[in-house]
Amino acid sequence: MRPAHDLVNGSGRGGVLRTHLDGPRGARVPRAYDRRMDSPASCRVDAWLWAVRVVKTRSAATAACRAGHVKVGGERVKAAQAVRPGDEVRVRLGGVERVLVVRQCLVKRVGAPAAALAMTDLTPPPPPREEVAAVPVRERGAGRPTKRERRELERLRDR
């Protein structure tokens, strides 16, 4: 169980004792992040993208935001933009746009099963790939192709 107070400004020595609910003159302090809760009310978009494993590094998430590849609610955002549960995040990475809905704010990287629970992936499936006609393969040991066979092979490869 959590103590009713914390030592502020110190690692246990000479800190100021202050209760969580008391602010200046005994007023209640509203907190965006209560340590008793599992997740904060909001978090940075770059930290969230990294925490739910959309990008490999936090700096890659920041670079994607700077390049304009991240949109929240249809608008390009900076890396420090706050996201909340229910926000739609569109990320364009590697030529593929992913559409994600924030279900839970995370600031620390989690495992893949927990990351899947923190977001809803609304990305449409990729279009079906066109089947490429198989290039005929010559039998092994058949020797060098004739001029006619070589031209046929080149015609099939160039399509």
**Shared-domain flag, residues 47 and 116:** yes
Where in the sequence is the domain holding 18, given as residue range(s)? 1-30
Instruction: Report the pLDDT value the prediction gives residue 23, as an integer from 0 to 100.
Output: 47
Residue 127 in tokens: 């279009």
Residue 59 in tokens: 């700096």
Instruction: Report the pLDDT value the prediction gives residue 140, as an integer from 0 to 100.
Output: 85
- Say how far apart CA 32 and CA 77 lie, in whole Å: 21
Residue 105 and residue 83 in contact, taking contact as beta carbons nearer than 8 Å: yes
Instruction: Report the pLDDT value the prediction gives residue 147, as an integer from 0 to 100.
Output: 93
Q: Give every residue of the chain whose pLDDT is below 50, as ranges.
A: 2, 4-12, 14-23, 29-37
- Say how far apart CA 32 and CA 113 lie, in whole Å: 26
Residue 135 in tokens: 């290039």
* Residue-wise pLDDT tens digits, 2-22: 454 444 444 445 444 444 444
**Shared-domain flag, residues 60 and 105:** yes
What pTM did the predictor assign? 0.60
- Residue 92, domain CATH: 3.10.290.10
**Shared-domain flag, residues 47 and 117:** yes
Paired strand residues for 127: none
Q: What is the total count of domains within the chain?
A: 2
